Structure 1
Amino acid sequence: MKCLLTVVMLTVCAAAPEDLTGKMFSFPQETKTDHVKLITTRDEFKAITVCLRSFTDLSRNHGIFSLATPTFANAFLIFKKTASDQIEVNARNKGTSLFGQEYKLNTWQSVCASWDGTTGLVQIWVDGKPSSRRYCSDGTLSGHTLITLGQEQDSHGGGFDPQQTFVGMIADVHMWDFVLSPCEIQRFVDDLNFSPGNVINWRALQYEIVGKILLEDKQGACSCLIKKKVPNIFSQSCQA
């Protein structure tokens, strides 16, 4: 029985990759447990770029993307601060605040962040608008990689704070092991033909849901064309 349980658990954690195009994760509540684990076998990084789309009404601090290793709980972290125009990027446990980005509430936004381990520079883009490049930390990340959405890791795979929980929706998560060019980031923002992440790929995603988090069809603005066919009769066509 013990061996059978182990096999079942491993099967759940090592599920076949899924194409989540047109899907989103919904995080409906503040907790100290609920999160999504994104699974990768990569355990060494000299550079990172992460792009995703998020939707939230939070004005308090909250984590957007959290990558931890045994050595660095904040190996690579995208963290929204309470100030409306301040986003912090952490690399190798060191954080740098980037200012001047318009982080809107209750709307889908494209968020990308990069770190170059050779130069130590970080940068963030919100809806394609770049921040200045700032020094954070140079070096390499290595060790067992744990990636979470919905919670910010203060320890390797744990240390969650409900006051930093993400509440809202996240979709289209991609991660690369190099610094993406501004043109490629713009293609992601415009949802054009961009190269998917070679570390995390939303179109071939391995993940594990922990707690009350929903995988749903992605919600978007409904564009309606209304045409009057005869008096007092209308036809309505909506496309999300």
Structure 2
Amino acid sequence: MRLYAVLFLVAVSMMLAVSIKTLVFPSETSTSYVEMVPQKPLNLRAFTLCMRVATELTGKREIIRFAYRTQSYDELNVWRELDGRLSFYLAGEPVFFRVPEIGALQTHLCVTWDSSSGAAALFMDGRKSLTKIYNKGHTVQPGGKSFVGEIGDINLWDSVLSDRTIQDMFSGKTVPTGNVFDWETTKLNINGEVVVVNTQQPL
């Protein structure tokens, strides 16, 4: 009886586990990338972009976290700048945020923006930055491709999520996945030296 009980508990534990994929870039590179195929055209008047990031690349260097480009422009880019600030670009000059440096410990990072007000903000591990007004009235254009860097758990919504929803996401609570990019189902095209690591995590 005890043996059966143990086996039953193991089976239940396995059924309640979820597989999480992470993209690992084993060495410093400027040629390896992963292309994500969106579920719908990126014609965005607002967005929330979230990801989990970690890196041991420090010092004065730029790192691309996320890049979406059409034939004409870099429509939506998230960067770490030479001076350590985080920034994102919407087809032009960037908006900058001075926040703690991302290191080897995984950080949950979100970027939000709304065209009607121009309100832009960053969230790091559930904590919100000050709000800046940026590119009011702009629209992110469709028809491009998206590439990602040393990250995982990437989701993109075509709306600004509430502060509470972003905080719940960071703390591991269940929230709706992205309706433009859903990390669980979005097709990934891998280029160069990139390893996809799958880990089992309990729900």
Partner of 2:93: 94
Instruction: Tell me what 1:65 maps to.
Output: 66
Partner of 1:134: 132
Structure 1 residue 219: deviation in Å?
9.8
For the Cα contact (< 8 Å) 1:90–1:136, is it kept in 2? Answer: no
Who is 1:214 aligned against?
195
- 114, 122, 141: which is aligned to 2:112? 114
Letter of the structure 1 residue corresponding to residue 123 of structure 2: W
**Shift in alpha-carbon separation, 1:21–1:83, aligned structure 2, 3 A:** farther
Unpaired segments of 5 or more residues in structure 2?
1-17
Write the letter of the residue equivalent to 2:82: T
Report the secondary structure of 2:123's partner residue: strand
Deviation at 1:21, TM superposition (A): 3.8
TM superposition shift of 1:33: 2.1
Distance 1:58 1:127 in 2: 20
Structure number with greater Rg is 1
Aligned-partner SS, 2:167: helix
Match of 2:173 among 175, 183, 192: 192
Assess if the C-alpha contact under 8 Å between 1:37 and 1:147 holds in 2.
yes
SS of residue paired to 1:187: helix
Q: Residue in 1 aligned with 2:36?
A: 38
- Partners of 2:69 and 2:120 lie apart in 1 by 17
Q: Cα distance, 1:69 vs. partner?
A: 2.1
What letter matches 2:128 in structure 1? P
Tell me if structure 1 keeps the 8 A contact 2:156–2:179: yes
Post-superposition CA distance 1:182-211 (Å, at most 9, x none): 011011111211110000011112110011
The normalised TM-score by structure 1 is 0.70
Partner Cα distance (2:200, 2:23) in 1 = 11
Q: Corresponding residue for 2:79?
A: 79
User: What is the one-letter code of the residue matched to 1:206?
Assistant: K
Instruction: Kindly provide the amino acid, as one letter, of the partner of residue 25 in structure 1.
Output: L
Tell me the CA shift for residue 51 of structure 1.
0.4
User: Which of 144, 161, 185 is the equivalent residue of 1:204?
Assistant: 185
Give the conservation status (yes or no) of the 8 Å contact 2:42–2:180. Answer: no
Structure 1 residue 171, shift from structure 2 partner: 1.5
State the 1:78 CA deviation: 1.3
User: TM (normalized to structure 2)?
Assistant: 0.82
CA distance in 2, matches of 1:116, 1:71: 22
Cα distance change on mapping 1:80 and 1:203 into 2, 3 Å: same
Q: Distance between the aligned counterparts of 1:92 and 1:179, measured in 2? A: 19
